[in-house]
Chain A
Amino acid sequence: MNEHEAIQGVLETVVNLDIDGVAGQVRAALTAGADPRAVLSEGLSAGMRIVGERFQSGEYFLTDLVLAGEVMKAGLVPLEPLLTRTDIQGKGTVVLATVKGDIHDIGKNLVGMMLRAAGFEVIDLGADVAPQRIVEAVRKHQVKIVALSVLLTPMVASLRAAIGEITKAGLRDQVKIIIGGACTTPRLAKEMGCDAHGADAMAAVYLCEKFF
């Protein structure tokens, strides 16, 4: 098996959601002489992108996306010791949070997973995050993108508060704000003065790539 075939094997293992086969396939690629960065970008990340596209097209479902995240994690185990931080997360840094008062995090976690797979560093602040913490994270990490998740309609006020705090802190021009979640729409994003609305985790990746 040559390097190219081995990397293709890694990609197919991810696309096929083979959680038990991916680490072996990665090792096989490394043994075949593949550059670890190529195994990551052309194997694991490329495979995740196809999974994301299949999710968007309706061929894959939420459980498939979640499983893919675990496949990616398993595939990274033999690879991470050989990579630098820039190799893994060099595309840029995104602050991710579910707004204050909302503890739902499945969607946010999926966005985080897809962004990491795509090569972004993700500062995941968790759920029920106060606006001030978001501002502090933006300042500390000098980020260009803030991705906010909100599931519950009553928490739209928290979204407004978070955007307000970013603006008050003089950081609004520094960042792009993307929102997503069950109660969000492109219209809401426009009303709130956000830069974009992401309908799903893959859309979030495309938006971040566009903004970076």
Chain B
Amino acid sequence: MNCHERTAIALNLGIPDRVPVFSCTEEQNQIYEILGEKDQAVALSLVQEGWTGKLFKLAAPLANSIGWFNRETEKFMSKKLEADIALGYDCSWLMYSAIFKLKGNRQATDIWGKLYDLVADPDGNVDTPMYRQGLLTTPELWEAWHHPDPDRFYKTLYRVFADLQKRYGGRIYLMGSLFSGLWESASQVMGLTAFSVTLRRNPDFVRRMVKYYETIYLATIHATADAGMPAFVYSDDMGHKIGPQTSPRVLDEFFGPSLRRITEEAHKRGIKIIIHSCGNVNQLLDLFADWGFDGVHSLEPTADIDLAAVKKQLGKRMCIFGNLDISHVLSQGTRDEVEAAVKTALQAAAQDGGFIMAMTNSHNAVKVENTRWMIEYTHRYGVYPVT
């Protein structure tokens, strides 16, 4: 079987030849290490300190006007896929995140209305910008923001996805994705405090916000399908360490209808759609299935999620992706620990198919060596029948 067949069977809750392995790696340090191109990474100190920092700060408006940062981000998407193919992944989460504008040399904003800090990875190189706060803290500010037009957004995404599908889609099963789901978009552009107050005082506005983000997501689904990609990862961190960030009732009332329309559209277009959500999402699992998602990813063990219990609860409705720990096993763990974790995950969720091995998230502390072990042991122990 090839990676496409294997992944498609697992997504359809069937039993392939072996358990597929899913890449969610987005970190520069790891991708450049895999490709032997560590010299390509850009040191944050170059961007922020000394005369180069001053130059960068002055040039930021020009860089924004020519879309430099986003073009580099799009190029990096190719590097990510080359690295995934080199490591032997079957399927890859390909997140479109060319959505930033530099704000000097220390911060960036995005097209949705969020502010980020430019931060470094452990090697001191530029890492994914880190969310700092929302800029649209009132309904008035949100209404006044120049929101992306869904039609233009479709065209940009289609261009990028079609190109990557053409160049890499034959060698790895691609799953398109977009930075920030409906919940993250709504709560983060306002900031959690302003959002929580607005949810109480002006729920109709929240519904209007969510409806707009739905139009963007529908455009994204169409771009993914038209580009020929077979699946989509809907990324939306609804959990935190001990539970959902808001009540399941609120999520279902305000976001559920839009999510149902998004998954319906994905299915009409013939693509599978997986939900990624960090944190303790135990209370949301049935909702994920009710909303129409075909698979669920992250399932962090450090957020009190039991993979076997999830498999039992959802295994007949959704493909389970997970759930190798990044806080220790894949960042500091020994070879034996990675082997044990892979075996545990396989035992918990793989035996009757509908399972795809994955680490819980992308993180710059994860070691490439440990990632290789994860893939190696999945190839070794994940051949069906898995015992």
Interface residues, chain A, CB within 8 Å of chain B? 17, 19-20, 58, 61-64, 66-67, 69-70, 103, 106-107, 153-154, 182-183, 199-200
Contact = CB atoms under 8 A, between A and B. Distances in A.
A64 B197 CA distance: 9
Interface of B: 117, 119, 122, 130, 132, 187, 192-193, 195-197, 199-201, 240-247, 250, 283, 302-303, 326-328, 331, 363-365
B200 to A, nearest CB: 6
Contacts of B250: 61, 63
Contact of B245 (A62, A70, A103, A182): A62
B116 to A, nearest CB: 10
Contact of A61 (B201, B246, B326, B363): B246
17 contacts: A17-B200, A19-B200, A19-B201, A61-B244, A61-B246, A62-B192, A63-B245, A63-B250, A67-B197, A67-B200, A69-B193, A70-B193, A103-B117, A103-B130, A154-B365, A182-B303, A183-B327
A20 to B, nearest CB: 7
Q: Is the interface of B mostly helix, strand, loop or mixed?
A: mixed
B326 A153 contact: yes
Nearest to B133: A105
A19 B199 CA distance: 12
Contacts of B117: 103
A70 B242 contact: no
Contacts of B119: 103
A62 B246 contact: yes
A67 B196 CA distance: 6
A20 B201 contact: yes
Contacts of A63: 187, 192, 195-196, 199, 245-247, 250
Contacts of B197: 19, 67, 70
Given A62-B246, A182-B241, A106 B363 contact: no
Contacts of B245: 61-63
Given A63-B196, A63-B247, A67-B197, 18 more contacts: A61-B243, A61-B247, A62-B192, A62-B244, A63-B192, A63-B250, A64-B247, A67-B196, A70-B196, A103-B119, A103-B132, A107-B240, A154-B364, A182-B240, A182-B303, A183-B302, A199-B242, A200-B242
Given A70-B193, A103-B130, A183-B302, A62 B122 contact: no
Contacts of B240: 62, 107, 182
Contacts of A106: 192
Nearest to A109: B193
A153 B117 CA distance: 18
B225 to A, nearest CB: 34
A17 B326 CA distance: 37
A53 to B, nearest CB: 14
A106 B132 CA distance: 10
Contacts of A19: 197, 200-201
A182 B241 CA distance: 6
Nearest to A153: B327
List 10 tightest A-B contacts by C-beta distance, closest first: A63-B246, A63-B196, A66-B196, A67-B196, A62-B245, A153-B327, A154-B365, A182-B241, A61-B247, A61-B246
Contacts of B326: 153
A162 to B, nearest CB: 18
B132 to A, nearest CB: 6
B196 A154 contact: no
Contacts of A70: 193, 196-197
Contacts of B327: 153, 183
Nearest to B364: A154
A17 B200 CA distance: 9
A96 B302 CA distance: 24
A209 B175 CA distance: 50
A46 B109 CA distance: 40
A66 B283 CA distance: 20
Contacts of A61: 243-247, 250
Nearest to B332: A153
A46 B129 CA distance: 40
User: Which of B244, B247, B326, B364 counts the most chain A CB atoms within 10 A?
Assistant: B247
A57 to B, nearest CB: 11
A17 B199 CA distance: 12
A106 B244 CA distance: 14
A160 to B, nearest CB: 14
Contacts of B247: 61, 63-64
A64 B192 CA distance: 10
A61 B281 CA distance: 12
Nearest to A199: B242
Contacts of B132: 103
